[in-house]
Amino acid sequence: MFATVEKQRNGIVLINIDNEETKIVFTNYGARIVSWKYDDNSIVLGNIVEADEFYEPNPFFFGATVGRYGGRIANATFELDGKTYHLEHNDGAHNIHGGTNGLDSRFFDYQIEEQVGQIKIIFTTQIKSTDDYFPGDIELKVIHTYDMDHKWTIEYEATTTEKTLFNPMNHVYFNLNRDNNMIDNHYISSNKLAMYPLGEDNIVNSTDTIDLSTIFNSNKIQFKELFTSENPKIKQQMDMFNGVDHPFEVENGEMAVENKRFVLQVKTDMPNIVIFTFNDTSSWDSDFNIYKAHSGFTLETQCIPNDINLYGDKAPSIITPDQPYYSKTSYKIFEKADI
């Protein structure tokens, strides 16, 4: 296992990790994943060759570290300790991905540590209250580790100068199919698959979940079954968003996604996983946009979007200066014959 560093134009650095049958690539721009391959099969969406042109204008946040707050905050407003905060309205009336000056568009400092059986890239940056209008300045480490078992782990470590919201995530899009054909054939599985319905403008405004395992009488459900379901609750959601763009609660933060050849296992200490099936690609007007709807899916591990307006001072994304933030998510790829 070894790492090599490659400098592209415009400040972009690619860090390539080679682990024989798998290879993974990260960049300092947004502390993001750029590529992950099993043999010659690309299992994430991205672009190594023209990374410097591809990522900056990409409105879908491919592979980026997103935050300080990953999901939508309704009306770009929240209240904390009796004070009302007004954020940037960068998604209609709402705030998404922490605003336009979020983590995805920063050049992180980095350090590479080659250890026994694994390679770690420690990315560091700061977000100031003046950058995004949330309270508190944050010091952040995003640590990407890749190990001999073809497991990619993300750890976030942060401290804040004031009580604030912190809810970062990674916006990688997976696709286990050869040539990244549409993901409708993939199965998602977990002992619990509870989906939070969305209201208008993709906002989570209810914690009354739809229990997919009961509806389908199975813990393993194909995306296609969801997209075409006649169940009125599911159909209403799929018709509104042309696919999945929903937070899920899964058993013990563990779920798997598979196609015929591969299994991707996810494990997180975050309470929710937002699955977004790339439902409408038309807003990206670029020659780089070769993507059809449903050509990838995200597994964004985070506290439920808009938690501050759902749970008030009990919102799990609240962090304080006396308690450093830590969270961990891993994605592991297997070839089925290996299991």
Facing residues of 335 across strands? 262
Q: What is the DSSP string of 200-226?
A: GGG-------EEHHHHHTSSEEEHHHH
Q: How far is the CB of 284 from ligand GLA (least distance, A)?
A: 10
| Distance between CA atoms of residues 144 and 122, nearest Å | 7
Burial environment of residue 48 by CB neighbours within 10 A (0 to 12, 13 to 18, 19 or more): middle
Selected from 80, 263, 274, 318, the binder of ligand GLA by CB under 6 A is 274
Q: Given the complex with ligand GLA, which of 41 and 180 has the nearer CB atom?
A: 180
Selected from 104, 132, 245, 249, the binder of ligand GLA by CB under 6 A is 245
Q: Residues 119-128: contacts with CB within 8 Å, 24+ apart?
A: 119/1, 119/2, 119/3, 119/17, 119/145, 119/146, 119/147, 120/144, 120/145, 121/3, 121/15, 121/26, 121/145, 123/28, 123/31, 123/65, 125/31, 127/67, 127/68, 127/98, 127/102, 127/103
The contact pattern for ligand GLA, residues 55-74, with x = CB under 6 A and - = no contact, is -----xx-------------
Chain-centre distance of CA 18, in angstroms?
23
Q: Residue 280 corresponds to which amino acid?
A: D
Strand, coil or helix: 178: helix
The contact pattern for ligand GLA, residues 93-132, with x = CB under 6 A and - = no contact, is ---x------------------------------------
Closest-approach residue to ligand GLA (CB)? 276
> What is the footprint of ligand GLA within residues 284-323 (CB under 6 A)?
298
Q: How far is the CB of 18 from ligand GLA (least distance, A)?
A: 30
**Number of residues forming the site for ligand GLA (CB under 6 A):** 8
Q: How far is the CB of 322 from ligand GLA (least distance, A)?
A: 31
Q: How far is the CB of 92 from ligand GLA (least distance, A)?
A: 11
Facing residues of 220 across strands? 189
Q: Is position 276 an interface residue for ligand GLA (rule: CB under 6 A)?
A: yes
Q: Given the complex with ligand GLA, which of 27 and 298 has the nearer CB atom?
A: 298
Q: How far is the CB of 26 from ligand GLA (least distance, A)?
A: 20
> What is the footprint of ligand GLA within residues 135-194 (CB under 6 A)?
none
Q: Given the complex with ligand GLA, which of 96 and 221 has the nearer CB atom?
A: 96
Interface with ligand GLA (CB under 6 A): 60-61, 96, 202, 245, 274, 276, 298
